């Protein structure tokens, strides 16, 4: 998924996937990449429809719209059953996505407090998480989940 870009400081967020969920057969690598990509594309389209904040003060209102949709996208991706051979990568992708959501919540709190320095520090952390997520998305063949 494209990340939650704000203030030019970072792109924060990601799609993820996990082999969790109920019964059912695992997907092939191609099916998994396609379904994950569709979740990412849906989120990307939603995010693109919302104007990004142009100041620290605008971040909380923006995240009130974006973060629930991001969390929902992650939840949907968790229900996918990746090929067994990709489970380790998928688990890492999920972990990164959870961390990105947490960082976005922390950015929101810092913005509410007017702490621009903290917003910038967290933005840098988000960028590092994005780089990890992009690398994994490429390995999984989920190009709609890559931000670059």
pLDDT tens digits for 74-114?
A: 999 999 999 999 999 999 998 999 999 999 999 999 999 99
* 110, 122 contact by CB (below 8 A): yes
Instruction: Identify the band that residue 11 occupies on the pLDDT scale cut at 50, 70 and 90.
Output: very low
Mean pLDDT (whole number) for 127-138: 94
- Confidence at residue 23, expressed as pLDDT on a 0 to 100 scale: 58
Which domains are delineated in the chain? 23-145 (1.20.120)
Q: What is the mean pLDDT of residues 44-54?
A: 93
pLDDT at residue 14 is higher than 70? no
pLDDT the model gives residue 28? 96
> pTM for this one?
0.81
Q: Give the CA dihedral 26, 102, 105, 39, nearest 10 degrees.
A: -20
pLDDT at 16: 31
Please say if the pLDDT value at position 48 is more than 70. Answer: yes
Residue 97 makes CB contacts below 8 A (sequence gap 6+) with 13, 14, 15, 16, 74, 77, 133
pLDDT above 70: residue 3: no
What integer pLDDT is reported at residue 24 of this predicted model? 75
Structure tokens given for 26 = 């695992």
Q: Which two tokens stand for residue 19?
A: 């082999």
Say whether pLDDT at 22 is over 70: no
Residue 25: burial class (beta carbons within 10 Å; 0-12, 13-18, 19+)? exposed
């Amino acid at each position: 998924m494209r990340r939650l870009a704000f203030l030019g400081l970072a792109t924060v967020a990601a799609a993820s996937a996990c082999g969790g969920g109920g019964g059912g057969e695992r997907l092939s690598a191609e099916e998994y990449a396609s379904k994950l990509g569709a979740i990412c594309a849906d989120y990307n389209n939603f995010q693109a429809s919302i104007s990004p904040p142009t100041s620290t003060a605008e971040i909380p209102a923006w995240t009130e719209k974006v973060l629930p949709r991001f969390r929902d996208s992650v939840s949907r991706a968790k229900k996918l059953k990746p090929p067994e051979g990709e489970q380790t990568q998928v688990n890492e992708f999920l972990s990164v996505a959870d961390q990105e959501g947490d960082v976005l919540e922390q950015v929101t709190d810092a913005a509410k407090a007017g702490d621009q320095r903290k917003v910038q520090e967290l933005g840098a952390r988000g960028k590092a998480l994005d780089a990890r997520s992009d690398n994994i998305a490429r390995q999984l063949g989920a190009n709609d989940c890559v931000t670059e």
